[in-house]
Chain A
Amino acid sequence: MKRFISITLLYLFAVLLVVLPPEVYKIVTNADIENIEGREIRIAVCKSKTKTNRKIRRLILGDSTGHALYPSANTYNDAVSLACNQAATMAGQYFLLKNYLETNTENLPAEIVLLFTPGTFDNDVDIFAYHYFLKPFPLYEYKSQYTPHLYSRIKSIPFYWTANLPFIQTTNYTPTKAVPAEEERSNLSVLSLEYLLKIDSLARQYGVPYNIRSTPVREDSKARVESILQDLLNVSNPNIKEKMRGYVQTVEYYPSEWFFDDVHLSPAHIPSDYLEDTL
């Protein structure tokens, strides 16, 4: 028995000896950072904490459809884009906005635009949250800004606490069961509403006007989208209701063949400056 255990441990040690050095090297030097999925969120986090040295007219936040229109890695004349991914949740959008406004108190943008496809508001922490939310927004830094609902959703992800371990943080690793407990789906999730309210009061606090705008939507999904919009308009909070009214008016239907999937425009059909073109 002793021999069996010793030899098993020796094999484990030998495997670690082969595997660990290159992994440690990658972590220490950030050599593998290019291959991490959801880089756009990490880029957005970095940019949100960076001082802008020019006058900014528009700060753009958004999901992946917004990111397709205004990639966060690009530089714009009078705009900054922190648009990233819907998996970052509305809480992630709030954290980005808060970071940016706190860092650029002296140089606030003239307006904030939130660019979302209608389906984004239903995110109440999904299966991607371990990688796309917990890793770029570490618990130790953002937990104090969690609402009880967000915390309960995060706690329902098995092994959520491992996401910020250094050797997991900079990898694509996700535990096999990183799936939060099922919640009743709603087109405007509890989480989205909570953090839209926070975004609303944050924008008021800094005196920066904000708008929620829709990215282009497939023509053949009109029926589904109309029903989502109806739900969004049913929100009871008057401030958010007003913003949602504005949001609904910005929904534009594009030919379905212009999209390469349910929500993303094909590169050939992405307008050069969607907001300027449509405003």
Chain B
Amino acid sequence: MLFNSIEFAFFLPLVFLIYWAIGYAHINDTLKLRLQNIFILAASYVFYGWWDWRFLFLIAFTSFCSWGSGLLIAGANTQSRSKAWMIANIVLNLGILAIFKYYDFFVSEFGTLFGINTDSLLLRIILPVGISFYTFQALSYSIDVYRKQIEPTKDIIAFFAFIAFFPQLVAGPIERATNLLPQFLTKRQFCYAQSVDGMRQILWGLFKKIVIADNCATYVDLVWSSYPTQSASTLLLAAIMFSFQIYGDFSGYSDIAIGTAKLFGIKLMRNFNSPYFSRDIAEFWRRWHISLTTWFRDYVYIPLGGSRVGKWKIVRNTFVIFLVSGIWHGANWTFLGWGTYHALLFLPLILLGKNRKYTNLVAEGRFMPTWREAIQMILTFVLVVLGWIIFRAETIAQAWDYVQGLFARDLFSIPHIISRPFIIPLVLAILFMLVIEWINRAETHTFAINRTIPLQWVRRIIYIAIAVYMIYFGKFDYNQFIYFQF
């Protein structure tokens, strides 16, 4: 089920009402909590099964194995046995992921490399939606239990609900057991302020998805489908549009997910923090897809030694983290190319010890950035846009062609736009998003306008205006979130 679908418009209020009806029922708290967890688990499975019910068995299997491994890790007599159970769970989960996501790619690439016909060896199975997200969530649990950062839970329903919690099941944020699981084990109460904030975040997420991402997608798809014949200025505009498409799509999804979770009294981690206001690539990676980058940092980079090792190992670790981050997105050389590109941008910063230069807020205490900050942000954005070309391309050769196409004489010509009635509302929406996100860059999320815009009537007008704008300029027939495929 998609967040921007009619089904979800009925599903969410229904689940919300039943969930809190249980919460307000005159029964004891333990039973109430258990019933709420059973209900949220059932609702989550309906949400996922709406796409393909067969893959519910896969989620249930992953959940069961990870839940069992947690108990086995904690109950093992020796450290080595505990480690063995953890490794077994990692191998199992990554094995499932490898079969579904990477097997066909590597087999066919192997065949191409050695000139072998591998057609009969290909599995040709559908990639289960969100498999990379819930697998990583399940992995974090067994690793955290092994590291004694969390006690294993015996409550199988709460654990299954933690893995399958529908707002973040298919596209994150990738939650840590240490943050989310305890929330399924404690009593939840309806909080008015939190729910209002959740609605605000849902509205903002829908705006970014329906108005910005999906309209940008129309333009981007059109240009990419005929890029060899497009002018350089059109290619540049499409590359910039794709940057806003992927940001609107994914951060929009995260906002809807986090906002929806708030309606159920559950707090999810932040996934985006105005990444396009970053002053260098290192800052960008602290602000983009935070739940994934911190996952790799905690479970891959730091165990490898992080940056507290020799220079060659720093180089190795940096490449490892960016390459796995790239391949996590999908089985394609373009994702590896994208990871390599970012590793190359990141390396000079980490080797010069400047990767943590900008941990503070940009233009802190000021409304406008300095010229220096503005130039830094623009340069970082340009580098990121170039990276997105590799990400969006179907092959490395196509990405290269596209980049070459950018450096032509007609770069300064007027780009092809579909039509003014299409492009003007879209550009206005992007500008509006940038202004709102700039104003709220210090807040808990980018549409927490209750502090930055203190006048309630102004906020109310903004909410209604956004909803109306969405109805008139939103695109309701684009039926996919980019990150579902990962």
**Known contacts A15-B468, A18-B464, A176-B4: A1-B476 contact under CB 8 Å:** no
Of A4, A8, A15, A176, the residue contacting B476 (CB under 8 A) is A176
Q: Are A176 and B2 in contact (CB under 8 A)?
A: yes
The answer to whether B468 touches A177 (Cβ under 8 A) is no
CA distance A175 to B147 in the complex (A): 48
Chain A residue nearest to B465 in the complex (CB)? A18
Chain B, Cβ-Cβ closest to A17: B464
For residue B5, CB closer than 8 A to chain A, the reply is yes
Q: Is the CB of B192 within 8 A of A15?
A: no
A3 within 8 A of B: yes
Closest-CB distance, B262 to chain A (whole angstroms): 11
| Contact of A3 with B5 at beta-carbon distance under 8 Å, contacts A18-B464, A18-B468, A176-B479 already known | no
Q: Which residues of B contact A179 (CB under 8 A)?
A: 479
Task: Judge whether B199 is part of the interface by a CB distance below 8 angstroms.
Answer: yes
Which chain A residue lies CB-closest to B6?
A175
Q: How far is the CB of A129 from chain B (nearest CB, A)?
A: 14
Cα distance, A114 to B43, chains bound together (Å)? 51
**Contact in complex: B5, A15 (CB < 8 Å):** no
Do residues B464 and A11 form an inter-chain contact, with CB atoms below 8 A? yes
The answer to whether A1 and B20 touch across the interface, beta carbons within 8 angstroms, is yes
Closest chain B residue, CB of each to CB of A176: B479
Q: Which residues of A contact B476 (CB under 8 A)?
A: 173-174, 176
| B53 shortest CB reach to chain A, Å | 15
Within the complex, the shortest CB–CB distance from B6 to chain A, in Å, comes to: 6
**Among B190, B195, B199, B464, which residue has its beta carbon within 8 angstroms of that of A15?**
B464
Interface size class of B (residues with CB under 8 A): 20 to 34
Report how far A270 CA is from B75 CA in the complex, Å.
79
Task: Give the contacts of A158-204 with B (CB-CB under 8 A).
Answer: 159, 173-179
Binary flags per residue of A229-273, CB closer than 8 Å to B gives 1, else 0: 000000000000000000000000000000000000000000000
Main secondary structure of the interface of B (DSSP, over half): helix
Q: Nearest residue in A to B468 (C-beta to C-beta)?
A: A18
A177 and B24 contact, Cβ closer than 8 Å, known pairs A3-B192, A4-B196, A159-B6: no
Whether, in the assembled complex, B477 has its beta carbon less than 8 Å from a beta carbon of chain A, the answer is yes
With A11-B463, A14-B464, A15-B468 known to touch, is A177 a contact of B195 (CB < 8 Å)?
no
Enumerate chain B residues within 8 angstroms of A176, measured Cβ to Cβ. 2, 4-6, 476-479
Asked if B467 CB lies within 8 Å of chain A CBs, one says yes
Contact (Cβ within 8 A) A19 B195: no
Residues on B with beta carbons closer than 8 Å to the beta carbon of A8: 199
CB of B417 within 8 A of chain A? Answer: no
Return B188 CB to nearest CB of chain A, in Å. Answer: 13
Query: In the complex, what distance in Å separates the CA atom of A174 from the CA atom of B195?
Result: 31
Measured CA separation A177–B195 after assembly (Å): 29
Q: Which chain B residues in 320-353 approach chain A with CB under 8 Å?
A: none
- Closest residue of chain B to A8 (Cβ to Cβ) is B199
**Closest chain A residue to B191 by CB distance?**
A4
Q: Is residue B471 within 8 Å, beta carbon to beta carbon, of the partner chain? A: yes
Please, which residues of chain B bring their CB within 8 A of the CB of A4? 190, 192, 195-196
Q: Is the CB of A15 within 8 A of B6?
A: no
A1 cross-chain contacts in B, Cβ below 8 A: 20, 24, 190, 192
Q: Within residues 435 to 486 of chain B, which ones have a CB less than 8 A from any CB in chain A?
A: 460, 463-464, 467-468, 471-472, 476-479
Q: Which residues of A contact B2 (CB under 8 A)?
A: 176
* Residue interface bits B1-12, CB-to-A below 8 A is 1, else 0: 010111000000
Determine the chain A residues whose CB is within 8 A of the CB of B192 once the complex forms.
Answer: 1, 3-4
* C-alpha gap A159/B24 in the complex (Å): 35
In angstroms, Cα B16 to Cα A1, docked, is 11
Q: Report the Cα distance A159→B199, complex, angstroms.
A: 27
B196 to chain A minimum Cβ distance, whole angstroms, is: 7
Q: Which residues of A contact B479 (CB under 8 A)?
A: 176-177, 179
Q: From A5, which residue of chain B is reached at the shortest CB distance? A: B17
Nearest residue, chain A, Cβ from B2 = A176
Whether A19 lies near B471 (C-beta < 8 A) is yes
The chain A residue sitting closest to B461, CB to CB, is: A14
B residues less than 8 Å from A174 (CB atoms): 476-477
A11 to B478, CA, bound (A): 26
Whole-angstrom distance between the alpha carbons of A8 and B467 in the complex? Answer: 13
Q: Bound complex: CA of A174 vs CA of B479, how far in Å? A: 11
Cα distance, A157 to B464, chains bound together (Å): 33
Q: Give chain B nearest CB distance to A24 CB in angstroms.
A: 14
> What 0/1 pattern do residues 44 to 75 of B give for CB contact below 8 A with A?
00000000000000000000000000000000
CB-CB under 8 A from A175, the residues of chain B are 5-6, 477
What residues of chain B lie closer than 8 Å to A19, measured between beta carbons? 468, 471-472
Instruction: Determine the residue in chain B with the shortest Cβ distance to A23.
Output: B471
Most buried by B among A4, A8, A14, A178: A4
B103 to chain A, nearest CB (A): 23
Point out the residues of chain B lying under 8 angstroms from A7, CB to CB: 196
CA distance A1 to B5 in the complex (A): 25
Q: In the complex, what residues of B have CB within 8 A of residue A177's CB?
A: 5, 479
Q: How far is the CB of B23 from chain A (nearest CB, A)?
A: 9
Q: How far does the alpha carbon of A176 sit from the alpha carbon of B460 in the complex, in Å?
A: 29
Interchain residue pairs A-B with the least CB separation, the first 7: A176-B479, A15-B467, A176-B5, A174-B477, A18-B468, A4-B195, A19-B471
Binding site for A on B (CB under 8 A): 2, 4-6, 20, 24, 190, 192, 195-196, 199, 460, 463-464, 467-468, 471-472, 476-479
Listed in ascending order, the chain A residues whose CB lies under 8 Å from chain B are: 1, 3-4, 7-8, 11, 14-15, 18-19, 159, 173-179
Q: Could you list some 27 contacts between A and B, CB below 8 A? A: A1-B20, A1-B24, A1-B192, A4-B196, A11-B460, A15-B464, A15-B467, A15-B468, A15-B471, A18-B464, A18-B468, A19-B468, A19-B471, A19-B472, A159-B6, A174-B476, A175-B5, A175-B6, A175-B477, A176-B4, A176-B6, A176-B476, A176-B477, A176-B479, A177-B5, A177-B479, A179-B479
18 extra interchain contacts, Cβ-Cβ under 8 A, other than A1-B20, A176-B476, A177-B5? A1-B190, A3-B192, A4-B190, A11-B460, A11-B463, A11-B464, A11-B467, A14-B464, A15-B464, A15-B471, A18-B464, A19-B471, A173-B476, A174-B476, A175-B5, A175-B6, A176-B2, A178-B477
